[in-house]
């Protein structure tokens, strides 16, 4: 990465931090403070794009001019309904029964901001679930994993057992599309040890 820039991830998500570290980026993580409420008539695509940008902008406003900030947001969608993080077992059961035996979409927006300059990308991945029983839902809830996961499951954890097929980006479903993030950062002249040859 160019020494002229510092890089901040506008998230404390361990999954997003692990993905960025995996690619060799050196960065700091800071939690953004924004209103994540859905606006009237807002589509899932527009929702994650807006939140990703607002997260990055909220940190960029408080940072040095040369700082580049990455923001990201993910939502699980079933028939255009955004499924948030379940507040209790009843809501988790509702979400997982909707997804059981069907295909849903996971939208992830990623935005990169430096001062007034910003670039945004949205990735949509189709995920097909196996049939899920009530007993499996109860046991999964007791594991604690669904409580902070959009749609009530984590594909990278125990929830991966429900996934039959995935059409699109696995890393996007987890929370940060690696390919698109790398492409956006390259536009800001930030490279990993694995693509830095492009600067030579």
Question: What percent of the chain has a predicted confidence (pLDDT) above 90?
Answer: 90
**Domains delineated in the chain:** 7-199 (3.90.950.10)
Query: Which of 109, 118, 83 lies closest to 177 in space, CA to CA?
Result: 109
The two structure tokens encoding residue 85:
């993080």
Catalytic residue among 73, 130, 134, 148: 73
H helix count then E strand count, the chain: 6, 7
- State residue 5's pLDDT score: 65
- State residue 194's pLDDT score: 77
Which parts of the chain sit beneath pLDDT 70? 1-5, 196-200
- State residue 164's pLDDT score: 97
- State residue 20's pLDDT score: 94
- State residue 190's pLDDT score: 92
**Annotated catalytic residue 46:** no
């Amino acid at each position: 990465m160019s020494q002229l820039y510092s890089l901040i991830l506008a998230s404390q998500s361990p999954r997003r931090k692990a993905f960025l570290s995996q690619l060799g980026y050196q960065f700091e993580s800071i939690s953004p403070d924004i209103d994540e409420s859905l606006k009237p008539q807002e589509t899932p695509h527009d929702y994650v794009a807006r939140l990703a940008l607002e997260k990055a902008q909220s940190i960029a406003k408080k940072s040095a001019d040369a700082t580049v900030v990455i923001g990201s947001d993910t939502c699980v969608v079933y028939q255009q309904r955004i499924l948030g993080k379940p507040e209790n077992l009843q809501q988790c059961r509702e979400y997982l029964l909707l997804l059981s035996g069907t295909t849903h979409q996971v939208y992830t927006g990623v935005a990169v901001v430096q001062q007034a300059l910003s670039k945004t990308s949205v990735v949509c991945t189709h995920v097909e679930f196996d049939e899920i029983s009530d007993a499996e839902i109860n046991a999964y809830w007791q594991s604690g994993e669904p409580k902070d996961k959009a749609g009530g499951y984590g594909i990278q954890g125990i929830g991966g057992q429900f996934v039959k097929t995935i059409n699109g980006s696995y890393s996007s479903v987890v929370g940060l599309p690696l390919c698109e993030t790398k492409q956006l950062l390259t536009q800001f002249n930030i490279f990993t040890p694995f693509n830095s040859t492009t600067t030579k």
